[in-house]
Structure 1
């Protein structure tokens, strides 16, 4: 179709500027100075171009819509998480109370532990003071004496020494870790070692060693003081229901079998016995103490003095003696110093037990260092304890 020509009237006002909210599009080709003369082909091209622009805008709008939905979805997820966290926090309130309660209990337990630690330190201090006092007052050692069965092997006479008892001391001396007891053959050697007080002991031997390669340790030497009984009084009383059986066969018969044979024999009334309450084998003297249920049985057997008891295929003539019960009524102790023994303390834990013992013995047997011939040496490593036994 033919295009119409439109001519603007003269004196028409200039075109107004479009609002800022609109986008100015470029003038189509062929339009100059606001002219409207176009061809159909140009119009079709412009329409296609605007269609493409509209399609691009629709795609951009769809993309923006999807992004908006994604953002709204994420916002909702964040809100849901926040609500869930708030619910969890509300549910954790009882757990927080429990945690606070446990923390309070831990605090109280720590305070109690601190108090017990202080009490322990006070008790250890009191124990140390008691030990020091025990050396000054020997009677303090009385409660620590163990009970002991004694068998009198002497003869009673009319002389004044009838009540005297000879004692052979057997002293048990506690040793702490990191210490040693060394006994020399001569007392003067022990005295020289004690007078020096501190000794430097070589742990690495060899004349070719450099000064930096030598390893040494310092130990302290001190005397060994023990408590020995100076006077002992024992109150004796004869048991009314016990007897002492001696003259038993040698060790070829086991103790339990021997005790069974004796109980079987002395529990019969035809043998002058009765029901046996207890039996005890005294290892140090090889004798047996039998205690009967009823009084008077022991007195009749003691009056007989001897009985023939079949043990195995042999009959043995056993001696029946009264069983005396004794109780210590008075014990006097006096401090005594071991003449040939020295206590070494402050020994560090740097060598095994055997090499450390050898190093100490090598050092203290050298006369050039004030030592001498060593009779015995006992070493207790750090972290352990031991008990040394002194006997005459």
Structure 2
């Protein structure tokens, strides 16, 4: 009996249990490394199982053909068929397990793809947020740059204003220093007593002072004129007489049996027309005013008393280097060895000397002439006589000269002042402002 068994159901074409047609991994998405590793291992395992099944099918086919031949010959038993059936059942179980694993892996793959999609969407959202943030930062930076530019411009303006203010402050300080120096110089002037005597200015002179808004101070002119030997100065009451004498120039004077020839010249002075002076207070000297007029002996005693008084510490004094009297004003200048002594004494101003004299102490002013302009001034009523020989006594010569120039026949007139300086002598003639007419 021939048994023919058809194993068509064994001709199984096992498909690839895990599809490899997965989506290409999107750029910028990270797939979990463990998931990739497991997926690769599963694919390899499935392919190995598939190869094993194919080998089993080939073996089963061969065995089937062999069994068919043996059955035809009547020599075979049923045991090989049972083995094949058992093997097929075993492979079916393996296949079912692989299908289950395939479904599980597919589910995991779908989950991972879903997570990847969510991650991608999250990345896109983060990129959009990052772009918005960058735009906001760019706008904020632009605003900040505008503010910074405005602040820098403001800083530049403030620096310019500060420089201007510093320049103004410097000029103000210089002006304040100058005013302080002027104040100190004004305070250093000796005190003078003045009184209104009834004289007033009228006309253009008064109008000029009123319009200018200033007060005028008249200063008396005192000129020291050094006389050479063999000269004389004669001042006439009438200006015209002096001009006639100067015009004639050469004059002959009879002196007993002798005749002397003199030359009459105008008296010329170099007068300052404009003076500029920088003044400053001397830190070591003081000027003492308010002293009584005394003869030479009493003056020397007074100077000694002043030196002793201002040497004492209890009086605010210190070591005295020098003491000098200004004979034209009667004031005294004291110089100290230290700088701070003079300042303390001038701050007190008024001092008592032995409870007898009330003295006024003011700063001593040093001055440097920075600009001096001069002009030639001619005395209109004074004539200079030169070439006078020394041939007689001084009194005789003076009388002879005065008599000669008082006579009208000689072109003379009334003499207001006369001074004669013989040869070999030195004298200083003091010229003051003419009360009737200015020189």
TM-score by length of 2: 0.44
User: Which is richer in helix?
Assistant: 2
Structure of higher RCO (CA pairs closer than 8 Å, 6+ residues apart): 1
- For the pair shown, which has the larger CA radius of gyration, 1 or 2? 2
